[in-house]
Structure 1
Amino acid sequence: MEDGRISDASITASSVLFNSAKYLPTRARLETLAGAWCNNGSSDANPWIQVDLGSHVTITGVITQGHGEGYTQWVTEFKVAYSDDGQEWTDVTDDGSSTPKKFPRNSDGDTHVTTTFPGAFQARFLRILPTQWNVYCCMRFEVLGCTNNE
């Protein structure tokens, strides 16, 4: 995402804080300097941000980052789901479990935190579902994996 291979239109979210351009899903790219994706607070109790990768790829993890720019806003825990069509979703779980795995993460707005999933999977869509955050639900991220040579 950071290098621009993923188009802005391929990054969507459940809501945007204050409907501000500074908090659009396109601001969720790792190392974005002017803002981050932030959800619309209390009116969006179950926030998510997702990326359409354009084709089925192998996904192994994510790198997350908070808002940055001196703001104390970041996601401290999240779940992940993936999909082939953007309609039906499968939760990332620990092997043998049916409970969605919660990934604990960022503790500031700038540090990159790498999360490796319990197992690689193939999907076209990846959705991050924050479950806890500091001040506001804000984040930037990168998807880890590789493209398939089909």
Structure 2
Amino acid sequence: MAVKFCSVMAVCIVAQFLSTAASSTTTAPQNCNNVGPCRTGKRGPIGPRGLPGVAGNCSCNQSDQIELQKRLETIEDHVFRIRRSSPDTYCLLGMKDGTIPDNAISVSSRENSKDHGRLDQLVDGWHPSSNHASRTGREWIMADLGKVKTVTGVVTQGRHNSNNWVLTFKVEHSVDGRKFYDILKEDRSELVRIFDGNKDRSTKVINRFPNPVQARFVRIYPLTFVGYAFIRFDVIDC
């Protein structure tokens, strides 16, 4: 009888163990930290891609598109004229903040001080190696914007630490760095536009072009100046 009783008890214990194990595999404990029976299984294969949605239909006809384009051009013209009439509003393109790196600044002379030509730079400024009259209109400083952008003008300052500044200058622009074009007068004549520069060494003077240009390279030629042709500048697109 004892042997039979023990056999029955053993069977009961084994049955209870198997039942507990089976239930533990179907119902995971709440807080098991991804270990043991509740460890996450491997992700199954990715299913097939769904069907593409139905293409949308444009309700605009040709005349609507033309009208919207005209309105956009009108708005852009208004914004441009507002910016031209607001001298304190302008958008710099990178000489001041270093977006234009030093190796993107070129000069006709004094290569070692070309980075001094950045707007608001606090050392002095850039100036050509010669102030001789024979070099007038031949010395320049140029910014490479990195890619072709819309350019609307330039901002200039004089020398930071002394009373030297550029009184007048002209501007050339290029998309490839080889063929340059002068900024011309507003009447679109063939006459080169001569810009009025600074009247002191620190005040910023904004000169907007008669019309925006597409350019990657913007080059400034000092023409007349006080003392030495020191200049600090940036290029603007608004």
Q: Determine if the TM-score, normalized by the shorter chain, exceeds 0.5.
A: yes
- Whole-angstrom distance in 1 between the partners of 2:190 and 2:167: 22
8 A contact 1:80–1:92 mirrored in 2? yes
1:32 alignment counterpart: 121
Q: Name the CA shift for 1:63/1:42 in 2 (closer, same or farther; >3 Å).
A: closer
Cα RMSD, aligned residues only: 1.5
2:214 alignment counterpart: 122
Q: 1:98 aligns with which of 177, 187, 190?
A: 190
Per-residue deviation at 1:90?
0.4
Are 2:199 and 1:107 equivalent residues in the alignment?
A: yes
**Which structure shows the higher strand fraction?**
1
8 A contact 2:166–2:225 mirrored in 1? yes
Per-residue deviation at 1:96?
2.0
Please list, as runs of the form range in 1=range in 2, the aligned pairs for 1:1-150 lying within 5 A after superposition: 1-16=95-110, 21=112, 24-42=113-131, 45=135, 46-69=138-161, 71-94=162-185, 95-145=187-237
- Whole-angstrom distance in 2 between the partners of 1:42 and 1:64: 19
8 A contact 1:41–1:137 mirrored in 2? no
SS state of the match for residue 176, structure 2? coil
2:47 alignment counterpart: none
Q: For residues 9-58 of structure 1, what are the alpha-carbon distances to aligned partners after superposition, in whole Å with 9 as ceiling and x for unaligned? A: 11111112xx7x4xx11111111011211111246712111011100000
8 A contact 2:131–2:229 mirrored in 1? no
8 A contact 1:78–1:128 mirrored in 2? yes
2:14 alignment counterpart: none
- TM normalised by structure 2 equals 0.56
Q: Which moved more, 1:60-69 or 1:44-53?
A: 44-53
**Which structure shows the higher helix fraction?**
2
- Whole-angstrom distance in 1 between the partners of 2:188 and 2:211: 11
Q: Give the number of the structure with larger relative contact order, counting CA–CA contacts within 8 Å between residues 6 or more apart.
A: 1
Flag structure 1 segments of 5+ consecutive residues without an equivalent: none
2:75 alignment counterpart: none
- TM normalised by structure 1 equals 0.88
Per-residue deviation at 1:87?
1.3
Q: Name the CA shift for 1:131/1:6 in 2 (closer, same or farther; >3 Å).
A: same
Q: For residues 52-102 of structure 1, what are the alpha-carbon distances to aligned partners after superposition, in whole Å with 9 as ceiling and x for unaligned? A: 110000000111000022x11110000000001111110000132111100
Higher alpha-carbon Rg: 2
8 A contact 2:131–2:228 mirrored in 1? no
8 A contact 1:2–1:30 mirrored in 2? yes
Flag structure 2 segments of 5+ consecutive residues without an equivalent: 1-94
Residues matched between the structures, number: 140
